[in-house]
Structure formats: structure tokens, C-alpha cells
């Protein structure tokens, strides 16, 4: 059982691992893979709710952002700016998660996602974002964290 200060160390690391895995998946997509779909068109519908999958540059950009987020979650450095960045990351994933779980991601993107995507978003992507937000939040100061208050 994870309790107290051990949770503030373990849970953000789990969140960081989830973010790193998502970054790796986006890098695989940038390289041309359609996994877990049969082809890129199905993948586009599954993960973006569109007819065409984004090219390698946007996938690499997302992979890079997720990699930075993964590093930030477990970072001890940064003082007030680092804490603010982790709090912003928490809020960003919470907003994305609530929108997804409510089937309202369309308010966050400039396109109308497909019905299949909305269903996947409600069932998987939105809740996953909420879990990530909670894992990141577990390491924030004031949440039982043993990080120095620098």
C-alpha cells in the first residue's frame, strides 16, 4: 500500500511513465506506423476524429511536448516556476480529461471530431487524461509533497 510521502514520490513517477509511453507512441506514429489501427485513415479516425492523420512534424512535436512533460513531472528543480509549470500541466490534463469524458472535446479543437472518436474519448482518452492529471497533482507542494519549498 502506498501512503504518505511515498505516494508523492511514486505517483508522479507513474504519471511520468505514462507520459513517456504516450510520447513513444507519437514517435512511432511519426515514423509511419498505424498501430493499433489497420491503416493511417482508421488511426486518424480513432485518435483524432479526422479523415487524415497528421504528418510526422505534428507527431514529433506532440512526442517532444509529452517527453518534456514527463521530465517536468518528476523534476526536483525549477523552484516556483517549476511548481507553476507542474500545476499548469495538471490543469491542462484535467481540462482535457473533463472535456473528453463529457464528450465535448470539440470545444477544444478547431474541427468536429467523428462520432467514433467521441466515443473513444468518453470511454478512454478523457479518463486517461484525468488519471494523468491526478498523478501529476499528487506531487505538487501542499499535496503532502516532501519536495523542498525553494
pLDDT (tens digit, 9 = 90+) per residue, 24-33? 999 999 999 9
Q: For the segment 18-59, what is each residue's pLDDT rounded down to a tens digit? A: 999 999 999 999 999 999 999 999 999 999 999 999 999 999
* Range in 5-9, 48-52, 143-147 with the lowest mean pLDDT: 143-147
For residues 49 and 55, give the distance between their C-alpha atoms in angstroms, rounded to a whole number.
Answer: 15
Structural contact between residues 46 and 120, judged by C-beta atoms closer than 8 angstroms: yes
Residue whose entry in the numeric block shows the C-alpha cell 463529457: 102
Contact 52, 44 (CB under 8 A): yes
* C-alpha dist (Å) from residue 54 to 3, 29, 50, 91: 42, 9, 9, 25
Tell whether the torsion through CA atoms of 107, 108, 110 and 115 is positive or negative.
Answer: negative
More confident residue, 112 or 141: 112
Identify the helix (H) or strand (E) that includes residue 137.
helix 126-137
98-140 pLDDT, tens digit each = 999 999 999 999 999 999 999 999 999 999 999 999 999 998 8
Task: Indicate if the alpha-carbon torsion angle 62, 64, 67, 73 is positive or negative.
Answer: negative
| Cell representation of residue 58 | 505534428
Q: Which helix (H) or strand (E) holds 40?
A: helix 40-47
Report phi then psi at 44, rounded to 5: -60, -45
Amino acid at each position: 500500500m502506498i501512503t504518505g510521502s511515498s505516494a508523492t514520490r511514486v505517483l508522479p513517477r507513474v504519471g511520468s511513465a505514462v507520459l513517456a509511453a504516450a510520447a513513444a507512441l507519437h514517435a512511432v506514429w511519426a515514423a509511419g506506423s498505424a498501430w493499433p489501427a489497420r491503416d493511417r485513415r482508421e488511426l486518424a479516425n480513432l485518435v483524432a476524429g479526422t479523415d487524415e492523420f497528421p504528418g510526422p512534424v505534428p507527431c514529433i512535436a506532440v512526442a517532444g511536448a509529452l517527453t518534456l512533460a514527463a521530465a517536468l513531472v518528476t523534476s526536483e528543480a525549477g523552484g516556483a516556476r517549476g511548481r507553476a509549470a507542474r500545476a499548469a500541466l495538471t490543469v491542462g490534463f484535467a481540462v482535457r480529461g473533463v472535456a473528453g469524458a463529457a464528450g465535448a472535446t470539440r470545444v477544444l479543437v478547431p474541427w468536429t471530431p467523428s462520432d467514433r472518436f467521441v466515443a473513444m474519448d468518453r470511454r478512454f482518452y478523457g479518463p486517461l487524461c484525468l488519471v494523468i492529471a491526478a498523478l501529476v497533482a499528487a506531487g505538487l507542494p501542499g499535496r503532502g509533497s516532501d519536495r523542498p519549498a525553494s
